[in-house]
Chains A and B, each alone.
Chain A
């Protein structure tokens, strides 16, 4: 002890009073198995540390041991809300790598299923986002419309969630009149449904209070955080791959890219709602402009079984072998690497391939928007309240299947 007359009373350090809360991986609002380590001061978050990896399935490594065609099914399991969009993204990338031409009809079909997937994904986003904030009814209304889309998917390719609809060089199945009729009905009714959601939540004071001004992202900040998709467009950055680097048939289709201004949760919400309207418009054009012709490109190879003599796929079914017909032998695999990005509902989904002249990719890297958006959580989540964090997770529109791959 020192000779000081005063007694040192230990005072609790402010920082040591932090309440540590590990939110997730089993939590109803973390959209799967996201875990967020929080440090709370009361209800305010002082530190936010997202932990990913609970749904890791090693897709990138798996892809190195499978053929290009086989890897397609892995992409279904990335963002299972919009498996179609992932299929298209993957096929666009591989087709660019292997220089395969796609028929125009297949391009339009791809745009069609992409936009249907976008609607399905945005509807699920709206449903869960509203549910997270507490509006339960929107959840079921959105699922009602999503169900129609799922049924169309099921009729189109036999599967509701994991579609594997596209194939290298085109799509697997042609649409029937019945599907087109159902889709036509849907897009006629859908704008009224969007209005219905908006009357339920957009005029609601509590909803506005919970979203306006929550987690604002400026344009610079959004770019720094590598946000893409509606999360970035909500901040007013005009970045949409469909518009600026058109793939499939997007160059033949007229649509607008809705932009927000403030970059807060509400702006992102508005952005996605407008995107749904645009998707509806795109779908209408797809139905009107759908060109006739083959659904698989003329020189599309059959890459399913690279050990057997290489085959090509045509739409010619006269050989009674389904869609596959042996035409000619060609070495389709080139050396090199390629990065191709597409605009999936969540943002920019990129596929990076390194090819070493074999039937399998030497390396496949997936740039998944969800992973990068979760990274932004650390910045956005600081200083907000627990309830806001839930809103932020919802508004970034993350899906853990894509994040953890």
Chain B
């Protein structure tokens, strides 16, 4: 019975998240469209509201092309690795008090592990496609993930030190319910580092080098088509949501808001995640792309020292208070 309930919960979560993924693409296109003096999708449904469904159906029925020279098992596995790891990381996210599938004590570590594993999918996709652009994209992704995993992890060490836990629910609880007690203020350096590393982790502009359209012709995605392409796409958007959730949980006080919403406790959590997603989209509409070496420079020379400084300052803060 217990298992059945958990399975139902998983199914419900997956359905909700995948629906969100679909409509995040819609809102991204709409928001960027309006920022770029155009309309975005307008034809399918009222103001293009059914566009994500149409896209889903289209990619589902498209031919799944496998290049002749590709390493077939890896080529087929890569998008699955990407998607599954991203979906798995949803398990530990606390959407509200008690609204969590697996309330484990190493929640934050689990998230890191999953997002690192997802980059295996990208690297393998780049490698297995056996094409030059995808290979370069895979290489870039590898370097990027290694460079930004570290500041990402370090930036959250401050949060761990303040809350004394890796459990996401406890991190939220430790921040209290007041807006002034959220970790954004004491951890402002950490948040800065986290935010940049978050963009890099999810391969979003200005760090979308692994799939740089104008340089690498979509990088690791070049050889993929149909549903496998859509799986990478979904993984990217779920990754965005997961990162936004980590940011919400660790810096913005999770599900706590100015007042309680009856019957729907995750309201504030979802609102904050939407805020993050809007920032992602806004940044995409505004910024150019970094160059490979500049990306490395930023990661190693700015973010990692800043994150270490943040840990040091947090340590001092802990000692003297």
Residues of chain A having any CB pair with chain B under 8 Å: 19, 21-22, 27-29, 40, 43, 130-137, 139-141, 144, 200-201, 204, 206-207, 209-210, 385-388, 390
B38 touches A140 (CB 8 A): yes
User: What are 22 A-B interface contacts by the 8 Å CB criterion?
Assistant: A27-B217, A28-B214, A28-B217, A29-B214, A43-B136, A131-B214, A133-B288, A134-B212, A135-B287, A135-B288, A136-B284, A137-B286, A206-B287, A206-B289, A207-B288, A210-B288, A210-B291, A385-B291, A386-B136, A386-B216, A387-B212, A387-B289
B36's contact among A40, A137, A201, A210, by CB below 8 Å, is which? A137
B290 touches A136 (CB 8 A): no
Other A-B contacts than A134-B287, A136-B285, 4 sampled, CB-CB below 8 A, are: A43-B136, A137-B32, A209-B294, A387-B289
> What residues of chain B lie closer than 8 Å to A130, measured between beta carbons?
288
B291's contact among A137, A139, A209, by CB below 8 Å, is which? A209
> What residues of chain B lie closer than 8 Å to A141, measured between beta carbons?
36-37
A385 touches B293 (CB 8 A): yes
- Name the interface residues of B169-188: CB closer than 8 Å to any CB of A: none
**B243-283 toward A: CB 8 Å interface, digit per residue (1/0)?**
00000000000000000000000000000000000000000
Which chain B residue shows the least CB distance to A394? B214
> What residues of chain B lie closer than 8 Å to A201, measured between beta carbons?
288
User: Counting CB contacts under 8 A, is B55 at the interface?
Assistant: no
Complex formed: what's the CA distance from A136 to B291 in Å?
A: 16
Which chain B residue shows the least CB distance to A26? B217
Complex formed: what's the CA distance from A212 to B290 in Å?
A: 13
Complex formed: what's the CA distance from A43 to B296 in Å?
A: 13
Minimum Cβ distance to chain B for residue A204 (Å): 7
> What residues of chain A lie closer than 8 Å to B208, measured between beta carbons?
134
**B129-167 toward A: CB 8 Å interface, digit per residue (1/0)?**
000110010001000000000000000000000000000
A386's contact among B35, B215, B285, B287, by CB below 8 Å, is which? B215
User: Counting CB contacts under 8 A, is B206 at the interface?
Assistant: yes
Complex formed: what's the CA distance from A387 to B132 in Å?
A: 15
B37's contact among A27, A134, A144, A200, by CB below 8 Å, is which? A144
Complex formed: what's the CA distance from A131 to B288 in Å?
A: 8
**B58-95 toward A: CB 8 Å interface, digit per residue (1/0)?**
00000000000000000000000000000000000000
Complex formed: what's the CA distance from A28 to B217 in Å?
A: 7
Complex formed: what's the CA distance from A134 to B294 in Å?
A: 14
User: Counting CB contacts under 8 A, is B205 at the interface?
Assistant: yes
B290's contact among A131, A144, A206, A386, by CB below 8 Å, is which? A206
Minimum Cβ distance to chain B for residue A137 (Å): 5
Residues of chain B having any CB pair with chain A under 8 Å: 32, 35-38, 132-133, 136, 140, 205-206, 208-209, 212-217, 284-294
Complex formed: what's the CA distance from A207 to B288 in Å?
A: 6
For the complex of A and B, the 7 pairs showing the least CB-CB separation, nearest first, are: A134-B289, A140-B36, A134-B288, A29-B214, A135-B288, A133-B288, A387-B291
A387 touches B288 (CB 8 A): no
> What residues of chain A lie closer than 8 Å to B216, measured between beta carbons?
386
**Which of A19, A206, A387 has the most CB atoms of chain B within a 10 A radius of its CB?**
A387
Which chain B residue shows the least CB distance to A201? B288
> What residues of chain B lie closer than 8 Å to A19, measured between beta carbons?
132
B293 touches A204 (CB 8 A): no
Q: Chain B: interface secondary structure? A: helix
Complex formed: what's the CA distance from A193 to B48 in Å?
A: 30
Which chain B residue shows the least CB distance to A19? B132
> What residues of chain A lie closer than 8 Å to B132, measured between beta carbons?
19, 21-22
A385 touches B286 (CB 8 A): no
> What residues of chain B lie closer than 8 Å to A206, measured between beta carbons?
206, 287-290, 294
A43 touches B292 (CB 8 A): yes
> What residues of chain A lie closer than 8 Å to B206, measured between beta carbons?
134, 206
Known: A43-B136, A134-B205, A137-B286. A390 touches B215 (CB 8 A): yes
B289's contact among A133, A139, A200, by CB below 8 Å, is which? A133
Minimum Cβ distance to chain B for residue A32 (Å): 14
A140 touches B37 (CB 8 A): yes
> What residues of chain B lie closer than 8 Å to A386, measured between beta carbons?
136, 215-216, 292
Complex formed: what's the CA distance from A21 to B205 in Å?
A: 25
Minimum Cβ distance to chain A for residue B288 (Å): 4
B286 touches A134 (CB 8 A): no
Complex formed: what's the CA distance from A40 to B285 in Å?
A: 31
**Which of B36, B288, B293 has the most CB atoms of chain A within a 10 A radius of its CB?**
B288
Which chain B residue shows the least CB distance to A206? B288
Which chain A residue shows the least CB distance to B140? A43
Complex formed: what's the CA distance from A247 to B132 in Å?
A: 49
A137 touches B285 (CB 8 A): yes
A388 touches B286 (CB 8 A): no
> What residues of chain A lie closer than 8 Å to B293, measured between beta carbons?
43, 385
Minimum Cβ distance to chain B for residue A20 (Å): 8
Known: A29-B215, A134-B205. A204 touches B288 (CB 8 A): yes
Minimum Cβ distance to chain B for residue A169 (Å): 41
> What residues of chain B lie closer than 8 Å to A387, measured between beta carbons?
209, 212, 215, 289, 291-292
A200 touches B286 (CB 8 A): yes
Minimum Cβ distance to chain A for residue B36 (Å): 4
B292 touches A385 (CB 8 A): yes
Complex formed: what's the CA distance from A246 to B212 in Å?
A: 43
Known: A28-B214, A43-B136, A137-B35. A388 touches B291 (CB 8 A): yes
Complex formed: what's the CA distance from A137 to B35 in Å?
A: 8
> What residues of chain B lie closer than 8 Å to A210, measured between beta carbons?
288-291, 294
Which chain B residue shows the least CB distance to A40? B136
